[in-house]
Each structure stands twice: as structure tokens, then as C-alpha cells.
Structure 1
Amino acid sequence: MPRSHDHARSVADAHRALRTSRRAEQVHVSGQGYVDGVALWNGAVKHRPAIVLACTSTDDVVLGVRTAREFGLPLSVRGRGHDYAGRALADGGLTLDLRPMHGVRVDPTARTAEVGGGASANDLLAAAGEHGLVAATGTIGTVGVAGLTLGGGYGPLAGRAGLAADNLLAAEVVTADGSVVHTDSRRDQDLLWALRGGGGNFGVVTSMTVRLHAVPAVVTGMVLYPWNQARQVLERVREAQQDSSDDLTIQVGAIAAPDGSPVLLVLPTWSGDVATGEDPSGPVMTLARLGDPVLAQLGAASYAATIAGRDAMFPDGRHVTIRTRSVPALDEDVVDVIERFGGRLPTPMSGITLHQFHGAAARIAPADTAFVLRRPHLMTEIIGIWPSVDTGEHVHGWADEASVALAGQAFPGGYANLLGPEATDQIPHVHGDNLPRLQRIKAAVDPEGVFSATPLPTAEPA
């Protein structure tokens, strides 16, 4: 849709105001700085902001928020740019690029880290690892800590450490009126509660303090099974997940082998005693004997190296679509769906992964954080990836069909960080009984709806 003359004048006025008070290399409307600012993990995103402001400090963020408000421009916040739906970019508006704010400061005595709003999991884990500590992160190292945490944050340490959101202790937030708010267990407790799973809908998190954990090494790796053994292996994984301790979190999935044929991936992460993890008869190594694997690579490694080592699997710029459903367990119906859709991946880059939620993450009461689904479950990620030369229509169709097939076995709602705007049947139920409290907090800190990072319904579901 063509922009109005008034919009063009607003953009020009906002650009002039920003250039007056900030260095030229921070304010981008074209050129390489702009290109870098709008390049996301999902190359299919077409949103294009009018202005990108590279923020190096909280003051820059305050200026950006106030400028967008003054000139009536849509506003968005870019962390590491991994949201597949492209909500990091304000189409025709002002995008605050937080990547320069990627510093991490570790307090090894308190076992905490202060993390900049633009830091990645790799940034955090590298700093924590210098002290023999780790943080609850996702599976991939290039993902932003703030975005992951605000939406929940499933990861390989969920059983032992909980979600990333469960480890959020404090935050500095720039709210919609340009105020700087500090929230922790004593100050603005409602806001901290909302940030633990309510998404980036309440302001710009310029820094956060997170809890760290003493895990010198993990035992992890991958086991690949031929697809004709998928049902047998998934049934045995179900038994292993039911019996697993907090120290063992098991991710499974359907991916493509180098020849393009589907294989079943079993990806365990053991965060307990290394000797137990490496014991041939222990709970980790047993996962390499659930069938006849075509590959079994399991061993001890640092958690930081493990997470960083997976980045090459998901490079920036490819075209991506994602659907998500959360199911109680690998019961027969779920296995049927995984077997059916994992057996016909639309491209060799596509896949289905199931992230185990249990242990420490499942022992938190639903009302204690904004993240509401605290029953043991598997968060299913249906991820379609295709090269830019293709339209991706068949990939979208496959992802939609797989999501619909799982719907009957799934809890209402889904994982907010992976829900795009098309998930109209799930969005009203994402926050469950926590929605009214979230809506009250939203009305208090952002009554005009300036921020919309992840789905937050404006009305309760019928």
C-alpha cells in the first residue's frame, strides 16, 4: 500500500531529529548500515522500516521510543532477528536495533549475569563459561537472549534449570512513554512477572539479570535412526522421557540425511555427573541402543561449545515458516503424525522437532510467571525451510497440514515465540488464565499498544 504524504513527512522529520542528536553511523535510511539492520534470519520477511536506529545505550533507546511516538511512526525492537514472523522490523516505521548492546557482565559469586538487550546466547554462554557456569538458553547460539527469555525459552537445560524466563531476576525496561523502569523481586513486581513469558509487549528490555548454573560440562550429541525404525524409537523415547531425571532433557525430531531421506534424530543433553552421562549402561548412552542407529555421536563437551556448534544448521537468509503445537507426550496419535509428516519433508532443510518440557520447568505454578503451561509436555516445532528461488507454497502447505493434524492431541494455545499471526485458533489461548493479569499490566504500561512483539490478545477468548 502506498504511503501517504503525511507519513513521508513524518519519516523525514523523525530522520532529521535523530540525525541532529545522534552520530550518522547510528541512523540508517539506506546504504549498507540499513541493509545490515533489516537482514533477518528469515530471508522471506518483506517488512521494511523507514528508519533503523542502531542503539548503543539506554539513552538511545529512550530517544528512539520518544521519536517514534512524537512523529506517529510504528515502532519495533530488533534483538538478534530470529523471530521468523519478522516482528523485529516495523514496516514503514522506526526499528531500534539493539545488537550493539551485546555486553555481558558475570558475577561468579552470585552466579548471575547482566546481559545487554542485544546479546546472543553465544555471548552469554562464552562469558559465563569463563567461570564454569552456564545459563538456560535455547538450542541455537545465535538466538537473542532477551527475545528467547521474554517469550519463555525452551532449551536443553529445561529439566535442571527451567525455562530461560524462569531464570530472569531483574530487568531494565524503557516503557512506551520513554521512562526507564527497573524491575526485580522488590520493584515493579507485576512487570517482572509479565516479562517472564509475556513477550516483549511491555517495553524495550535494554538489559536483564539472569541466574547462572554450575555445569562444567554436559554429555550430549546426536543419534540418527533410519526412518523405518521411527515408530519403535519414538515409543522407546517416550518411556525414557517418562523416567528421565531433571538432569536429562531429550529432544527428538525428523530431519533429512545427507541424501535427502528422512531420519529420526535423538538429541539428549545430560547436565549431571559426567561419569554417569558417559556410562555405557547409563540413561544417556542407552539412547544409542533404541534401534540400529546409522550414526551415534555422544560425549562430554562444554555447554557453550555445544550450543555454538549447532549454529551452522540454521544460517541466516534462507526462507522459513514455522508452526507449533504443544502435546502432552509421544502417544500413539502423535507418533502417527510425526511418522506421516516427518516421512515426507518438503525440502531437505525442513524438519520437525519436539522439545521436552519437564523437571524444574514443570514444578513452577502456572500463576507464578506469565508463562502458563507448566504440565510436562513436548513443544513441537514444525519448521519449513526453502531456498529463495522458490515460492515455498508447498512448504507452507506441509506445515499447515502437520499443525492441523496435531491440533486434536495438543493443548490449546502454543509457544508464543513461534506463533505467527496466522495462528488465529491458538493465539487467544496462549496465556490461559494468566491473560487477564497480562492485559491489566499491558494497559498500565502501554495503553496505546506501542509494543507488539509476540501474540497478546486484546480481549479474552470467547
Structure 2
Amino acid sequence: MTNSPASPRSHTLAERELRAAVRGTVLTTTDAAYDGARRIWNGAVDRRPAVLTRCADAEDAAMTVRIAREHGLPLSVRGGGHDWSGRALREGGVVLDLSELRGVTVNPSDATATAQGGVRAGDLVAGAHEHGFKPVVGTVKAVGVTGLTLGGGYGLLGGLHGLAADNLLAARVVLADGTEVTADATENPDLYWALRGGGGNFGVVTDLRYRVHPGATVLSGLLLFPLDQASSVLRGYRELIAEAPDELTVMAGFFTGPEGTPVLFLLPMWSGDPALGNDAVARLAKLGTPVFGEVNPMAYQDVLGMFDAVVVDGRHNEMRTRWLPELTDTTTELLIAAAARMTSPYSGLYLHHFHGAAARVPSADTAFALRKDHLLVEIAASWAPAGDTEADAAHGQWARQVSAELAESALSGGYPNLLGSDERERALASFGAGGAERLLEVKRRYDPDNVFSAVPALLPTPS
């Protein structure tokens, strides 16, 4: 699709046709609900699309794609709206908004769940909980499941059940020409491969079918340690995760604690037999002297609620990411120093533990290629804007500086879901040897005109 500016007449004609054709709501700048509809999680993103279509079903999505293309309008897709760089919104374009498609259907007989394209992690977890199951999702209820899955999907069940993408059994996809297809292991298998880690670059995913897992209760809790214990606690953490069984995945990181100062947190989840997990989890509390917290049996959905207060719509955000093969003494001290100089009480550093089942998937089986033990470091600058340009810029600079400091110790590439639009080379490197070329071939087949651009690195070129 051309990137040249569309004429006002094109916007008017597209709006008129969409209002006549779709069952959902069509909004433009003159509608009272427009400003609310264009707001996303990152309040720093202030783009004004020409038209927003709040889809009522998959047919609305297909119609929106066809009409946007017919009039030469740039198109973006919104699910949960939590991509920090704001790729859900295109200035002057058409937003295909799936956020009201939040239906979840669970089939206990075959341990699967079907989720519509706008489903949030909390929706899927709650639906599965009612039937005694748990799905593999991230760590925050508000995040959209579709975007999470298409990028890979780190979570607290990774050791036992892999990434969210590893549990995707099938997807219903609206392609760039407006047609609908199914992607699974037998039907459009190349597209199915690309959707599991290649991002939303190939079409609009309107429905996903997941494998879910028995048992809605886990052993978990949040342990907080003062910053002056962080060095010794993280050394113990490094030793513990190096030998952790599949059932134990332990997230770690730093945020501002109840007293207003940075603290180290450990968030373990034992998803096996509770009787066998007590000793493993108890070791974490003994790594230091926690100032808060305990670990107990609890509902899986309650664990995901622990970070609800962190993901608040409207704050300004900038995120960076690094893959670390391990926590060395050097990277440990870099992280502690970075936590000590966080510029906002809303910022944080989050270490996602990748091991076990997730690491045993062959690299070539999915577009997500990094299949060995590692830590994903999520560097999250978040702040309430002060209206002072220099002061606001300092928060993003903190995130970029931490990323640069970790670069020498990091693996090449980075998690595509968190890479910025200025990190094209890192995005390409993240797909591994041959992976980027294979993804580009799938892109040429399903979206040769680059209608969908969730991962900027994947730009098709002539064969």
C-alpha cells in the first residue's frame, strides 16, 4: 500500500462506505466518541486516524481491510492497544479496532479455548478458570492476547508449557485482500509458522484457538527485598533458576516499593504438585530478608492481578529490551545501579525467566527462534507528563541508557513485541539464521503490498 498522503475525498468516501457496510461503529474526528476511541495505553502516542472502525465481527474486519485498500488509505490494527510505540494507530489512516471482540469459549472435552481478536489476558484466564483450566498468557491481565501471542508471549507458565505462541493451535486470519483463511498445522502451515513469533505482519487475526492446561491453582506470591540486599539475592536467584525444574518459573525485577524507594522483587510460580513445590519456593525467601510478601497456593488469575496497578492507561511510556544469556556479576550490578537511578516511581525493570519446555521447542518450528535458556530484560520507563520537555525526555533517556549498558552482555536481536520502530536490525536478528528470510517469503506471499506493518523490519521486496 502506498505511503503517500490520501486525499480528503478518499477519507470521506471510505467513511461513507464503512458506515453503510459494517455492523460495528465507525468514528471520525467529528464524532463525540472519537477522542476516547483513539486513546491507547501509552499516553505519549497522540495520533489522529481519519477513521476508526470498531468491528462487531470478523466480517467487519474483512470489509474494513477491503475498503481501506480500495481508497489507498494506510491501515493499522488495534487489539489490546498496549504496544508502547503505538503501532495500533496510523496518522490519517484507518484503524481496524478489534477491542470490543472479547468473547471466550472453552471446550473442556479437548482442553482448548477459542478467543476473539480483542480478548485481553484477563478475559481468557477468567474463562478458563471457570472450567478448571489455565492458559499460557503474559503477566498482566490488561494486555491483548493476540498481540502477545503473535510476538511469542513470555509468561509464568513458560517452564512447563512454553510460550503463548507454542500453545496456539489455529488462527482465523483476514488477509490483505480481504479474504479470510484458517492457519494451522495442516491449512496454510507457512502462515501458521509465521504467526507464532513473527508479529502481526501478515493479516488481521480475528479468532485464535489455544491449548489450555488443567488446574486453576498455583503456588505463587510476591517477595520484596531492599535494594541493599539485591546483589546477594540475585546471585542466589541465578543459581536457583539454573537448576529450576519445568514446574518453577521465577520472574524478578525492580520497581518502587510501598515506601517510595526501589525494591527488588521475586515472583515465583510453581505450577506442578504443590506438595513438591514448597521446598523449591521456600528457597527464594531464604535468599535474603524479605521486607514484604509470602508464597501461598492461589488462583492463577489472582497472580496476574499483581501488576494491575502498573499498567495504567494514559501515562507516558518508553520501553527497551535486552536478551541476557545469564545474570553475570557485571549485569547484576548494572541492573541494580539502573534501579537506583530510576527517574520515575512508575518505571521498572522486569526479568522474564525463559527455560524448560519453552527452550526445548526446535528453533525452526516457530518464527520465535531463541530457544535456549535466557532472561528477557524489559526496561520500562513510565511517567506522568509534567509538561516540561526536558524533564519528560529524561525518562526515555534512562531506558535507552540502560539498554545501551546491557548491550555488550546481551544476545543479538531482541523481543519483537518490545522493540521500537528505530530498531530494525535488531528485529531482523531476533528471528535467527534463516528465520528472517523465511518470514519475508511468507510476507511476500500473503501481504506483498505491506498493508500490515506491526514489525517494521519485515518489509517485502520483489522476489
Q: Secondary structure at the match of 2:293?
A: strand
Please give the residue correspondences for 1:26-425 in structure 2 after superposition, counting only pairs within 5 Å.
Answer: 26-277=26-277, 279=278, 282-390=279-387, 391=389, 392-425=392-425
Query: Structure 2 stretches of 5 or more lacking a match?
Result: none
- The alpha carbon displacement at 1:428 in A equals 2.8
Shifted more, 390-399 versus 412-421: the winner is: 390-399
TM-superposed CA distance for 1:24, in Å, is 7.6
Secondary structure of the corresponding residue to residue 296 of structure 1: coil
What are the Cα deviations for residues 8-41 of structure 1, in whole angstroms up to 9, with x where unaligned?
1111111111122235844444434322321111
Q: Secondary structure at the match of 1:295?
A: coil
Q: CA deviation at 1:233?
A: 0.5
Partners of 2:424 and 2:456 within 8 A in 1: no
**Normalization by structure 2: what TM-score?**
0.95
CA deviation after TM superposition for structure 1 residue 6, in Å: 5.1
Q: How far, CA to CA, are the matches of 1:154 and 1:5 in structure 2?
A: 37
SS class of match (1:283): helix
For 1:437, the equivalent position in structure 2 comes to 438
- Distance across 1 between alignment mates of 2:98 and 2:145: 12
Separation in 1, partners of 2:305, 2:46: 28
CA contact (8 A) 2:201 2:458 kept: no
Q: Which amino acid aligns with 2:420?
A: G
Could you tell me which amino acid in structure 1 is paired with residue 393 of structure 2?
E
More divergent stretch after superposition (156-165 vs 383-392): 383-392
Contact 1:217-1:274 at 8 Å conserved across structures: no
- Give the AA of the match of 1:305: D
- AA at the equivalent of 1:87: R
SS in 2 for 1:86: coil
Distance 1:334 1:355 in 2: 15
Counterpart of 1:403 in structure 2: which amino acid? S
Which deviations, in whole Å up to 9, do the C-alpha atoms of 1:63-93 show, x marking residues without a partner?
1000110001110110010100000112110
In the TM superposition, what is the alpha-carbon distance from 1:425 to its structure 2 partner?
A: 4.8
Tell me, in whole angstroms, the C-alpha distance in 2 between the residues paired with 1:440 and 1:164.
24
- How far 1:309 moved relative to its partner? 4.2
Q: Contact 2:6–2:73 at 8 Å: present in 1 too?
A: no
- Partner AA of 2:145 in structure 1: V
Tell me which residue corresponds to 1:10: 10
> Unaligned 5+ residue runs, structure 1?
none
Between 1:307-316 and 1:23-32, the stretch displaced more is: 23-32
Q: Which moved more, 1:27-36 or 1:12-21?
A: 27-36
Q: CA deviation at 1:304?
A: 1.4
Q: Is the 8 A contact 1:256 1:262 kept in 2?
A: yes
Structure 1: which amino acid aligns with 2:360? R
> TM-score when scaled to structure 1?
0.95
Alpha carbons 2:348, 2:381 under 8 Å: kept: yes
How many residues align? The count is 455
Q: Would the alpha carbon gap of residues 266 and 309 (structure 1) be closer, same or farther in structure 2, given more than 3 Å must change? A: closer
- State the one-letter code of the partner of 1:203: G
SS in 1 for 2:33: helix
Relative distance call for 1:32 and 1:211 in structure 2 (3 A) is: farther
In the aligned structure 1, how far is the partner of 2:315 from the partner of 2:106? 34
Paired residue secondary structure (2:66) = helix
Using the TM superposition, name which of 378-387 and 416-425 deviates more: 416-425
Which stretch of the first structure deviates more once superposed, 412-421 or 253-262? 253-262
Alignment check: 8 A CA contact 2:6 2:72 kept:
no
Amino acid at match of 1:284: V
Deviates more, 1:394-403 or 1:419-428: 419-428
Q: For residue 450 of structure 1, report the CA deviation from its aligned partner.
A: 0.4
- Paired residues of 1:288 and 1:296 also in contact (CA < 8 A): no
Change (3 A) 1:312 1:6: closer
The CA deviation at 1:421 is 1.0
Counterpart residue identity of residue 310, structure 1: F
User: For 1:24 and 1:114, how far apart are their aligned partners in 2?
Assistant: 21
For the residue of structure 2 that corresponds to 1:313, the secondary structure is coil
Alignment of 1:447 with 2:448, yes or no, is: yes
C-alpha distance in structure 2 between counterparts of 1:130 and 1:285, whole Å: 29
* 1:117 to partner: Cα distance: 0.4
Query: CA 1:42–1:215 in 2, change beyond 3 Å: closer, same or farther?
Result: same
Shift of 1:260: 2.4
Judge conservation of contact 2:23–2:55 (CA < 8 Å) in 1. Answer: no
1:252-277 residue CA offsets vs partner (Å, 9 max, x unmatched) = 10111233211111111111112333
Quickly say closer, same or farther: Cα 1:220–1:13, change in 2 above 3 A. Answer: same
Contact 1:74 1:450 in 2 (8 A): yes
Query: Are the equivalent residues in 2 in contact too, given 1:99–1:119 (CA < 8 A)?
Result: yes
What percentage of residue pairs aligned between the two structures are identical?
45
Does the CA-based 8 Å contact 1:18-1:27 persist in structure 2?
no
Q: Amino acid of the residue matched to residue 438 of structure 1?
A: L
The 1-side partners of 2:296 and 2:310 are apart by 20
